[in-house]
Structure formats: C-alpha cells, structure tokens
C-alpha cells in the first residue's frame, strides 16, 4: 500500500509517499481502508520533531491519527463493528491507504468520509477542556482562537449544553463564529475591553497559544477558571495546560450523537490528495484553518 511517512525531522518537504506493508490490526483493534484522514496541528508538530507527550517518534514514521473509512479487518475480540461498516476514529499512520484504529464509532449516515475524518481528535479535545474548565449551563465561556477545529467543536458542544460563548477569531471568521451561536470579536489590539463589553466571563479557554493567558486570568478573575491547550507557559500563571489526549473514551460516541442530532458540524476547509500532504501541512501550520483540513485517499 501507499502511505505518507518521514525518515528525518524537518519541514513539509521531508514527507514522502512510500510503499509499506498493509498493517495487521492486532487484538482489540480494527484495520480500515482509509477514505479520508484528518490533518491536525499535532501531525506537523511531530514531523518537526517537537517533543509532545511521553512517546518519542521512531523513524521512519507514518503520519496522522484521525481517519474515516471502511472496516477491512477485525482484530481479535472486536465485536461492535463488521467488515464493510463505515467508521471514523483514531489510530496511527492514517495518511495511508490502510490504517489501524484503536478507537472508533460508526459514522452517522449524514456525514461524508471527508467530514467524518475531521472530528475525532477535535471532539475529544473539546469535551476534555470543557470538562476541565468546569463551565456550567447558563454561564459564559470565553474562547480565544474559536474558529479552528477545536474551537468549532467547543462552540457547538457549549451551545448544545446551554453555555454562552464569546469567541475571538480573525476578521474573516466573525460571521462564522456568530453562525455557530457565539458572540464574536477579533483578537486584534484592545480585545479584552471588547470582550468585557460583550459580557461577564465565567471561564476561558486558550486554543491558539497566542500569549493571552494573563488577560484570560484577568477576565475570569481566577487562574483555575482558565485552561490552555496551546501555551506551555500557562502553568506559570497558575493555569492548567491540558495535554492528555485519549482521556475521553466516549468522545467518538458523543460526536456521533451530536452529528446525528444536527448539533455538530465541522466544515472541511480543504481536501488534499495523499500526494499533497506536504501542502496540507504547510497550510495547517499557517494557522488560519476554519474547521478542518483533510487528506483524501
Ligand atoms: N493539548 C492538546 O491536547 C491539544 C489538542 C488539540 C490541539 N492542540 C493545539 O491547539 C491548537 C489549536 O488546534 P486546532 O486543531 O483547533 O488548530 P487549527 O484548526 O489550525 O486552528 C487554529 C486557529 O487559531 C486561530 N488563530 C490564529 N492566530 C490567532 C490569534 N493570534 N489569536 C487567536 N486565535 C488565533 C485561527 O483563527 P483565524 O483563522 O480566525 O485567525 C485558527 O482558526 C494547536 O496549536 C494544536 O497544536 C492541543
């Protein structure tokens, strides 16, 4: 099969489309014929050699953790899906014709493979940070960097739970945020004052890592009411950095439920063929993705 991989850390040009053995699923896992793979910032962070989490990357390495596709082989003990089912989920080396998933759910009938590939990691992250920041129905959540993949999920999950959101995004995404039910302002100079004018803030999320932790603490009045997923300096302000992926085992089922109820839809900004994975990484790294970018197979 063909897969995207890299044999050295570096820029997008270290990515190669290579031949590889079709992976076996192993116990408790499934193999899918990948139809689409989600492009997440963690994919290019690992390719660059950034140290994230406990597991060092072994070279050569495949790329990608999110995918949607058709179940092709079941590992020992798997009983909740059958060969031929359409699923979306998380695994490894998903920018490939075949990939092994460690977590999955059946795709709701209403979504395409391209859309479905964009949900797994961002919904897991969104559910995790909403839980960790402790915001309740009837309260107001400020989201810095609200128009990306994680932000799009946070806004819609919060709306479904009766939480008011004030989101910051670029000028081009103000109407996008309002369309997801949020109050919106830009992140240009003077944003804390504009946020104050939009309402009282009970809790805040930093999803962009743009150096705003001090302001988020000021606006909430309590560092325990702020969580960051993108600023490693957050703990210096007494603010939690949330980084343990996979801690929300029901995330995929929750995503499927929200999608089926028409409460969650993350747009695909752009789809790229496997041969253009480097372009997808460069575009994601530029930092202005609305929703998700995906690789199509
Ligand atoms: N720790 C974890 O568990 C975890 C999990 C998932 C992601 N992450 C990290 O969280 C970040 C967001 O992930 P993502 O997938 O949502 O990224 P994404 O889809 O690439 O979105 C990035 C967003 O950042 C916004 N942005 C750019 N500059 C900004 C600024 N100065 N102020 C506020 N917003 C700004 C952009 O909005 P405009 O286009 O409107 O400018 C864009 O929508 C990434 O750094 C990723 O690595 C961490």
What is the pLDDT, as a whole number, of residue 84? 98
pTM over 0.75, yes/no: yes
Which atom of ligand 1 approaches the CA of 292 most closely? Answer: 19
148: Cβ below 6 Å to ligand 1? yes
Reported in sequence order, the residue ranges of 121-267 that DSSP labels E, i.e. its strands, are: 140-144, 164-169, 183-186, 203-206, 226-228, 240-241
Distance 83 CA to ligand 1 centre (A): 35
Bridge partners for 289 per DSSP: none
207: Cβ below 6 Å to ligand 1? yes
Distance 41 CA to ligand 1 centre (A): 8
**Cis previous bond, 124, omega within 30:** no
pLDDT, tens digit (0-9, with 9 covering 90-100), for 29-81? 999 999 999 999 999 999 999 988 767 899 999 999 999 999 999 999 999 99
Percent of the chain with pLDDT over 90: 96
- Work out the average pLDDT over 260-264: 97
SS3 category, 88: strand
- Work out the average pLDDT over 136-153: 98
Instruction: Give residue 286's Cα distance to chain centre.
Output: 16
Query: In what helix (H) or strand (E) does residue 150 lie, and over which residues does it extend?
Result: helix 149-160
pLDDT, tens digit (0-9, with 9 covering 90-100), for 23-39? 999 999 999 999 999 99
How far is it, in rounded angstroms, from Cα 113 to Cα 66? 11
Percent of the chain with pLDDT over 70: 100
Dihedral (CA of 178, 179, 180, 186) sign? negative
What is the pLDDT, as a whole number, of residue 109? 92
pLDDT, tens digit (0-9, with 9 covering 90-100), for 153-167? 999 999 999 999 999
SS3 category, 196: helix
Phi-psi region of 134 (alpha: psi -120 to 50; beta: other; left: phi over 0): left
Ligand 1 pocket: which of 230, 233, 269, 285 to mutate (most atoms within 8 A of CB)? 230
170: Cβ below 6 Å to ligand 1? yes
What is the pLDDT, as a whole number, of residue 54? 65
What is the pLDDT, as a whole number, of residue 53? 72
Ligand 1 pocket: which of 122, 145, 239 to mutate (most atoms within 8 A of CB)? 145
Distance 163 CA to ligand 1 centre (A): 21
Contact 31, 96 (CB under 8 A): no
Per-residue pLDDT for 144 more than 70? yes
38: Cβ below 6 Å to ligand 1? no
Distance 143 CA to ligand 1 centre (A): 11
In 227-264, which positions are buried (b, 16+ CB within 10 angstroms) versus exposed (e)? bbbbbeebeeeebbbbeebeebeebbebbbebbeeeeb
210: Cβ below 6 Å to ligand 1? yes
Residue whose Cα lies nearest atom 30 of ligand 1: it is 210
Compute φ and ψ for 3, nearest 5 degrees.
Answer: -145, 155
What is the pLDDT, as a whole number, of residue 247? 75
Residue whose Cα lies nearest atom 41 of ligand 1: it is 170
Per-residue pLDDT for 194 more than 90? yes
Domains of the chain, CATH where assigned: 2-119+267-296 (3.90.180.10), 123-241 (3.40.50.720)
What is the pLDDT, as a whole number, of residue 225? 98
What is the pLDDT, as a whole number, of residue 164? 98
Distance 266 CA to ligand 1 centre (A): 14
- Work out the average pLDDT over 77-106: 97
233: Cβ below 6 Å to ligand 1? no
Distance 21 CA to ligand 1 centre (A): 34
Compute φ and ψ for 63, nearest 5 degrees.
Answer: -135, 140
């Amino acid at each position: 099969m063909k897969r995207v991989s890299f044999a050295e850390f570096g820029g997008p040009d270290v990515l190669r489309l290579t031949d590889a053995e079709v992976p076996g699923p192993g116990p408790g896992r499934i193999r899918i014929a990948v139809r689409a793979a989600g492009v997440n910032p963690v994919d290019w962070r690992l390719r660059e050699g950034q140290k994230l989490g406990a597991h060092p990357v072994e070279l050569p390495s495949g790329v990608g953790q999110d995918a949607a596709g058709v179940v092709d082989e079941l590992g020992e003990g798997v009983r909740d899906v059958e060969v031929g089912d359409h699923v979306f989920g998380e695994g490894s080396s998903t920018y490939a014709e075949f990939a092994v998933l460690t977590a999955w759910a059946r795709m709701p009938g209403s979504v395409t493979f391209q859309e479905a590939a964009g949900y797994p990691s961002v919904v897991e992250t969104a559910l995790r940070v909403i839980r960790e920041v402790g915001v309740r129905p009837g309260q107001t959540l400020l989201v810095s960097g609200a128009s990306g993949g994680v932000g799009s999920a946070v806004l819609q999950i919060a709306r479904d739970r009766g939480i008011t959101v004030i989101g910051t995004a670029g000028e081009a995404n103000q109407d996008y945020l309002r369309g997801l039910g949020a109050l919106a302002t830009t992140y240009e100079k003077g944003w804390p004052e504009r946020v104050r004018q939009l309402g009282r803030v009970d809790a805040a999320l930093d999803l962009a890592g743009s150096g705003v932790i001090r302001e988020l603490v000021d606006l909430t009045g309590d560092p325990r009411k702020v969580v960051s997923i993108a600023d490693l300096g957050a703990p210096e302000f007494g603010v939690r950095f949330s980084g343990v992926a996979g801690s929300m085992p029901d995330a995929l089922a929750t995503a499927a439920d929200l999608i089926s109820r028409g409460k969650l839809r993350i747009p695909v900004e752009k789809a790229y063929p496997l041969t253009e994975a480097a372009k997808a990484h460069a575009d994601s790294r530029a930092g202005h993705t609305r929703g998700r970018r995906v690789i199509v197979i």
